[in-house]
Chain A
Amino acid sequence: MSEAPSGADLGRRLRDGDLSVAPAVLNLVESRPAQEAGEVEALLHEVAPGALGGEARAHVVGVTGPPGVGKSTLLSELVRAWRERQRSVAVLAVDPSSKRSGGALLGDRARIVSDPADRATFIRSTAAGDRLGGLAPATRAAAQALGAAFDVVVIETVGVGQSETEVAEVADTVAVVVQPGSGDVLQFLKSGIMEIPDVLVVTKADLGTVAQRARRDLLATLRSIGERATQVVCVSSVAPVQGFDQLIDALDAHRAGLDLPARRLAARRAGAVADFHAEHGDRGLRALGGRRAALRALDEEDPALEVPALTRALEARAGAT
């Protein structure tokens, strides 16, 4: 095998907008921490706000929803629509892993149709690993790194409840995909089991009135709990394809209204706590006084620091107590 480029080198090339390093970046961040921790840190250092002179350019979009609602076919059309607007797109698709074998069938890629010759579209499937329904450990790092070079970074996960909470910690904008007649989503929103998404997407708009009714129900529910900011968009991924311009507009509008540095900073701090938790477990977190105390502690750190540096700061604190 050819010599892998160093983390710092990859980070610099991402900063220069070199999209072709994306596969190597993923190979690196997916590596077991013990072997490559230093390289990953060097990579993230090169794409941290300090090195970039500001937050990474990409729009990081989380796309999540229950299984079987047509997320991947929706994503296929969404990628096409973004590419038509000349935006480069990286998709990080997170599939669940088998609890028994640890292996995973990474099937979402199959439904995202893209031109293999198009260098500005990158799709990587990752197994969620041991984290139930959540993000693959490497996905946060990958999103941060690729965000320096791509216009759009999508994180796709399965599930409702836990997963959109985790995605919300990483993404600028979270879109939850539902199909008409999914009453459970209404219940989850009302009861607070589910966080309020930034954009709600109703699929199967080709069903016409059924989708429109679903949209009205969702809007009514959102109003009843005092949420008026969330946009609800109907799309159809089957011919005649419709709704994707409105969806992109809704995603863009959310991003435009965002305090990006604050959201990204929160994402990095949440990521550091998650990484710390993965490494040191509940006992480690307790030593810091719990999750909220850990986040508060990070408020004192330099806002431009990359995640591994923040994680080390937490470790220093935990060691000192």
Chain B
Amino acid sequence: MSDHRLPERDRPWMMRTYAGHSTAKKSNELYRGNLAMGQTGLSVAFDLPTQTGYDADHELARGEVGKVGVPVAHRGDMAALMDGIPLDEMNTSMTINATAAWLLGLYIVAAQEQGVEAGALQGTTQNDIIKEFLARGTYAFPPAPSMRLIADMVAYTVTEVPKWNPINICSYHLQEAGATPVQEIAYALSNGIAVLDAVRERVEPSLMGKVFSRMSFFVNAGVRFVEEHAKLRAMGRLWEEVGRTRYGVEDPKQLRFRYGVQVNSLGLTENQPENNVQRIVLETLGVTLGRDARARAIQLPAWNEALGLPRPWDQQWSLRIQQVLAYETDLLEYPDIFEGSRVMDGLVDELARGARAEMAVVDEHGGAVEAVAYMKAALVDSHRERLGRIESGEQVVVGINRYADSEPSPMAEGEDGGILTVDPGVEAGQREELARWRTQRDDAAVAQALDGLRRAAADDTENIMPATIEAARAGVTTGEWAHALRDAFGEYRAPTGVGEAAASVPSQDMERLRDEVERVSEGLGRRLKILVGKPGLDGHSNGAEQIAVRARDLGMDVVYEGIRLTPSQIVASALQEGVHVVGLSILSGSHRELIPDLIAGLREAGVEAPVVVGGIIPEADVAPLREAGVAAVYTPKDFDMGVIMGDIVALVAQRNGVGASA
């Protein structure tokens, strides 16, 4: 036997597809179909109301029910979602954070209804709140009680659901928010440290090795796949260091860095979307090539994510990419192919050095929880720099800033426009189902369970899980569970990071636009003022943040209030602030419901300012939005912010009768 071959071929990683939409029943059909296609685990996408703890009949849920994931309001929904899927065999990953304790509770109860004990369950709850504050926005409670919920879950599962990974620390969304590889490593590991420090106060010291071994990570992989692979090796090395030095873990198995991956969506383009396929393939190589840092589980985005929601066929294609790599190629036949590589070792050293320094900075702030504002501002800065490099052409994106001419694509055509649309009747249906559920359950049991939950929430020394499982069993709803906890913990708005973002180094174009903003402001009589708003539950605020920072750097006064605003809040702000233009960003697909309402509200309040919209807006929705009064629609293919800003200034000038420049 030679040592450049493995004695036997490795087993492939777990293959999943991030999926779920419309209803529990529809998503269950989708899951069964995916499993039949050779998928080996489940990855549940929940809709935004479920992720943020609102029932379908809450004001903030409007337009969001069943859009980016499946609504799960109670144990009945969870049972329908997992119907016919044996939970003692399945490995289920749930992208759920603020309400993770609740969804795990529902999953445990659904398993028991199938006759499966909690001890047999395998899977992952994402449960990473710090990155929600930093990048994804589906938080519900302030930092301290959020960290307590996470620690409770870790402490509970380590003995009661021992095969479960209670937390999946996500650097994925940090890269989506602009993180450099060094930032991705440093912030993810600092986040892990914050969680472990919190758990250490809630478990027996003898359990810490076991706790450490249940921590898993969920990383991103960009198209610079050689460096990305080095990043994962560096993470493994640093994580082991953390385990040894900070928590005294000795067992090499417990010290191993375990991660799953969803490769990059940020780099996927709306123009020439077929190019995304090769990007996805290369990114997958980044997390599989070297055996010493290979992903445990992989899920791939679909080629058309920048256009809208992928269809089952699009997701099948992504699954087939994994299967070809795992079953057709010889990738799994060798030991680590980078062992002894000068280039790889050098890259790993470099990244580890940078990450250690950045982790020290986070530590100086008092740890990851205290450093949220610092990290957020750093991410906004990195993202701004990235966009600047693309605008200037320094960073090449094929089909965007180079080789942009294209033959007409046959792929995005057809009756459905190349994307999945969720039936708008889903929301009303879910509301009716919810009302029916509430009438059919035992009210006394629900009231008693909620009392128990409130008591557990108010007592910091209690673990939230038993009361949560009790509430799940009694038929409590997602909104009710979260409401009880919001009452006890209070609500929270995360830092936006834009106030601290560094000023851009102005290019010639920017200087010209600054002059124009100055000129138009003189004409208006006061400084051009813009409201940047994110209506609905969608927490993907990167785009809105970049617009806000750029507008400031061009000399505008910018009102930006962060995520999760109701239309009436945005109307009140626009009115009170006297803005000249309103920019709205939505990526969750709720634009068709929210934007027309919002414009009607503005006009009713007497606000005549024009409204522009940016986000993932399918081509077919552009005309209806314009009919509703939207002055301009921007999508991911509009990558040049200078152009967008120029449009906005011209729009304000035109609407206010400020003449063209001489």
Whether B522 and A238, one on each chain, are in contact in the complex, defined by CB atoms closer than 8 angstroms, is no
B558 touches which of A26, A106, A123 (Cβ 8 Å): A106
Whether A110 and B566, one on each chain, are in contact in the complex, defined by CB atoms closer than 8 angstroms, is no
Whether A116 and B560, one on each chain, are in contact in the complex, defined by CB atoms closer than 8 angstroms, is no
What residue in chain A is nearest B526 (Cβ atoms)?
Answer: A30
- Residues of A close to B576: CB separation below 8 A: 22-23, 122-124
- Residues of A close to B559: CB separation below 8 A: 106, 109, 125
- Residues of A close to B556: CB separation below 8 A: 103
CB of B228 to closest CB in A, whole Å? 33
Whether B569 and A116, one on each chain, are in contact in the complex, defined by CB atoms closer than 8 angstroms, is yes
CB of A9 to closest CB in B, whole Å? 15
CB of A227 to closest CB in B, whole Å? 34
B557 touches which of A36, A100, A127 (Cβ 8 Å): A127
Whether B578 and A101, one on each chain, are in contact in the complex, defined by CB atoms closer than 8 angstroms, is no
B566 touches which of A98, A107, A116, A239 (Cβ 8 Å): A116
Q: How far is the CA of A1 from the CA of B606 in the complex (A)?
A: 10
Q: State whether A106 and B525 are in contact (beta carbons under 8 Å apart), knowing that A116-B571, A122-B576 are contacts in the complex.
A: no
Whether A124 and B553, one on each chain, are in contact in the complex, defined by CB atoms closer than 8 angstroms, is no
Q: State whether A109 and B493 are in contact (beta carbons under 8 Å apart), knowing that A35-B525, A117-B568, A127-B527 are contacts in the complex.
A: no
For chain A, the count of residues having a C-beta within 8 Å of the partner chain is 33
Q: How far is the CA of A27 from the CA of B557 in the complex (A)?
A: 13
A101 touches which of B491, B496, B552 (Cβ 8 Å): B552
Whether A124 and B554, one on each chain, are in contact in the complex, defined by CB atoms closer than 8 angstroms, is no
Q: Which of A75-124 contact B (CB under 8 A)?
A: 98, 100-107, 109-111, 113, 116-117, 122-124
Whether B525 and A110, one on each chain, are in contact in the complex, defined by CB atoms closer than 8 angstroms, is no
A2 interfacial by beta-carbon distance below 8 Å: yes
- Residues of A close to B514: CB separation below 8 A: 101
CB of A131 to closest CB in B, whole Å? 14
Per-residue CB contact flags for chain B residues 479-495 toward chain A (1 = under 8 Å, else 0) read 00000000011110100
Whether B527 and A1, one on each chain, are in contact in the complex, defined by CB atoms closer than 8 angstroms, is no
Per-residue CB contact flags for chain A residues 131-142 toward chain B (1 = under 8 Å, else 0) read 000000000000
- Residues of A close to B506: CB separation below 8 A: 100-101
Q: How far is the CA of A22 from the CA of B606 in the complex (A)?
A: 13
Q: Which of B284-313 contact A (CB under 8 A)?
A: none
Choose among A23, A36, A124, A238 the residue with the greatest number of B CB atoms under 10 Å from its CB.
A23
What residue in chain B is nearest A119 (Cβ atoms)?
Answer: B572
CB of A29 to closest CB in B, whole Å? 9
- Residues of B close to A125: CB separation below 8 A: 559, 577
B562 interfacial by beta-carbon distance below 8 Å: yes
Per-residue CB contact flags for chain A residues 14-30 toward chain B (1 = under 8 Å, else 0) read 00000000110011001
Whether A102 and B560, one on each chain, are in contact in the complex, defined by CB atoms closer than 8 angstroms, is no
CB of B658 to closest CB in A, whole Å? 11
What residue in chain B is nearest A22 (Cβ atoms)?
Answer: B576
- Residues of A close to B573: CB separation below 8 A: 109, 116
Whether B554 and A103, one on each chain, are in contact in the complex, defined by CB atoms closer than 8 angstroms, is yes
Whether A105 and B558, one on each chain, are in contact in the complex, defined by CB atoms closer than 8 angstroms, is yes
Per-residue CB contact flags for chain B residues 559-591 toward chain A (1 = under 8 Å, else 0) read 111100010110111011110000000000000
CB of B521 to closest CB in A, whole Å? 9
Whether A103 and B578, one on each chain, are in contact in the complex, defined by CB atoms closer than 8 angstroms, is no
CB of A20 to closest CB in B, whole Å? 9
CB of A193 to closest CB in B, whole Å? 26
Q: How far is the CA of A28 from the CA of B487 in the complex (A)?
A: 41
CB of A156 to closest CB in B, whole Å? 14
CB of B374 to closest CB in A, whole Å? 11
Whether A27 and B560, one on each chain, are in contact in the complex, defined by CB atoms closer than 8 angstroms, is no
Q: State whether A109 and B518 are in contact (beta carbons under 8 Å apart), knowing that A101-B554, A102-B527, A103-B555 are contacts in the complex.
A: no
CB of B545 to closest CB in A, whole Å? 10
A31 interfacial by beta-carbon distance below 8 Å: yes
Whether A111 and B557, one on each chain, are in contact in the complex, defined by CB atoms closer than 8 angstroms, is no
Choose among A101, A102, A111 the residue with the greatest number of B CB atoms under 10 Å from its CB.
A101
- Residues of B close to A101: CB separation below 8 A: 503, 506, 514, 552-555
B26 interfacial by beta-carbon distance below 8 Å: no
Q: How far is the CA of A125 from the CA of B641 in the complex (A)?
A: 25
Q: How far is the CA of A238 from the CA of B608 in the complex (A)?
A: 37
CB of A244 to closest CB in B, whole Å? 14
- Residues of A close to B555: CB separation below 8 A: 98, 101-103
B578 touches which of A2, A26, A32, A239 (Cβ 8 Å): A26
Whether A23 and B575, one on each chain, are in contact in the complex, defined by CB atoms closer than 8 angstroms, is yes
Q: How far is the CA of A102 from the CA of B561 in the complex (A)?
A: 20
- Residues of B close to A22: CB separation below 8 A: 576
- Residues of A close to B488: CB separation below 8 A: 239
- Residues of B close to A36: CB separation below 8 A: 525
B179 interfacial by beta-carbon distance below 8 Å: no
A102 touches which of B489, B498, B518, B566 (Cβ 8 Å): B518
Q: How far is the CA of A239 from the CA of B606 in the complex (A)?
A: 37
CB of B10 to closest CB in A, whole Å? 50
CB of B482 to closest CB in A, whole Å? 15
What residue in chain B is nearest A100 (Cβ atoms)?
Answer: B503
What residue in chain A is nearest B549 (Cβ atoms)?
Answer: A105
Q: State whether A1 and B560 are in contact (beta carbons under 8 Å apart), knowing that A107-B499, A116-B568, A238-B490 are contacts in the complex.
A: no
Q: How far is the CA of A210 from the CA of B496 in the complex (A)?
A: 28
Whether A27 and B578, one on each chain, are in contact in the complex, defined by CB atoms closer than 8 angstroms, is yes
- Residues of B close to A100: CB separation below 8 A: 503, 506, 553
B577 touches which of A35, A109, A116 (Cβ 8 Å): A109
Choose among B488, B555, B559 the residue with the greatest number of A CB atoms under 10 Å from its CB.
B559
What residue in chain B is nearest A24 (Cβ atoms)?
Answer: B578
CB of A65 to closest CB in B, whole Å? 16
Per-residue CB contact flags for chain B residues 316-327 toward chain A (1 = under 8 Å, else 0) read 000000000000
Q: State whether A32 and B553 are in contact (beta carbons under 8 Å apart), knowing that A116-B566, A124-B576 are contacts in the complex.
A: no
Q: State whether A2 and B606 are in contact (beta carbons under 8 Å apart), knowing that A26-B578, A116-B569 are contacts in the complex.
A: yes
B234 interfacial by beta-carbon distance below 8 Å: no
- Residues of A close to B56: CB separation below 8 A: none
Q: How far is the CA of A103 from the CA of B549 in the complex (A)?
A: 10
Q: How far is the CA of A21 from the CA of B498 in the complex (A)?
A: 31
Q: Which of A137-183 contact B (CB under 8 A)?
A: none
- Residues of A close to B142: CB separation below 8 A: 238-239
Whether B578 and A30, one on each chain, are in contact in the complex, defined by CB atoms closer than 8 angstroms, is yes
Q: How far is the CA of A103 from the CA of B488 in the complex (A)?
A: 40
Q: How far is the CA of A103 from the CA of B554 in the complex (A)?
A: 7
Q: State whether A110 and B578 are in contact (beta carbons under 8 Å apart), knowing that A98-B503, A103-B557, A105-B499 are contacts in the complex.
A: no
Q: How far is the CA of A80 from the CA of B496 in the complex (A)?
A: 23
B551 interfacial by beta-carbon distance below 8 Å: yes
What residue in chain B is nearest A34 (Cβ atoms)?
Answer: B525
B112 interfacial by beta-carbon distance below 8 Å: no
Q: How far is the CA of A36 from the CA of B524 in the complex (A)?
A: 11
Q: How far is the CA of A117 from the CA of B569 in the complex (A)?
A: 8
B655 interfacial by beta-carbon distance below 8 Å: yes
Whether A1 and B655, one on each chain, are in contact in the complex, defined by CB atoms closer than 8 angstroms, is yes
CB of A303 to closest CB in B, whole Å? 31
CB of B209 to closest CB in A, whole Å? 34
B548 interfacial by beta-carbon distance below 8 Å: yes
CB of B264 to closest CB in A, whole Å? 29
Q: State whether A104 and B560 are in contact (beta carbons under 8 Å apart), knowing that A26-B578, A110-B493, A116-B569 are contacts in the complex.
A: no
23 A–B contact pairs at CB < 8 A? A1-B608, A23-B576, A98-B552, A100-B503, A100-B553, A101-B506, A103-B527, A103-B553, A104-B552, A104-B557, A106-B558, A107-B560, A109-B577, A110-B560, A110-B561, A110-B562, A113-B493, A116-B569, A116-B572, A116-B573, A124-B577, A127-B527, A239-B488
Chain A residues at the B interface, C-beta cutoff of 8 Å: 1-2, 22-23, 26-27, 30-32, 35-36, 98, 100-107, 109-111, 113, 116-117, 122-125, 127, 238-239
Chain B residues at the A interface, C-beta cutoff of 8 Å: 142, 488-491, 493, 496, 498-499, 503, 506, 514, 517-518, 522, 525-527, 548-549, 551-562, 566, 568-569, 571-573, 575-578, 606, 608, 655-656
Given A107-B561, A239-B488, 9 extra CB contacts under 8 A: A27-B526, A30-B526, A30-B578, A98-B553, A103-B558, A109-B559, A109-B573, A127-B527, A238-B490
- Of all A-B residue pairs in the complex, the 8 with the closest CB atoms, nearest first, are A116-B572, A239-B490, A110-B561, A103-B552, A31-B525, A103-B555, A116-B568, A101-B555
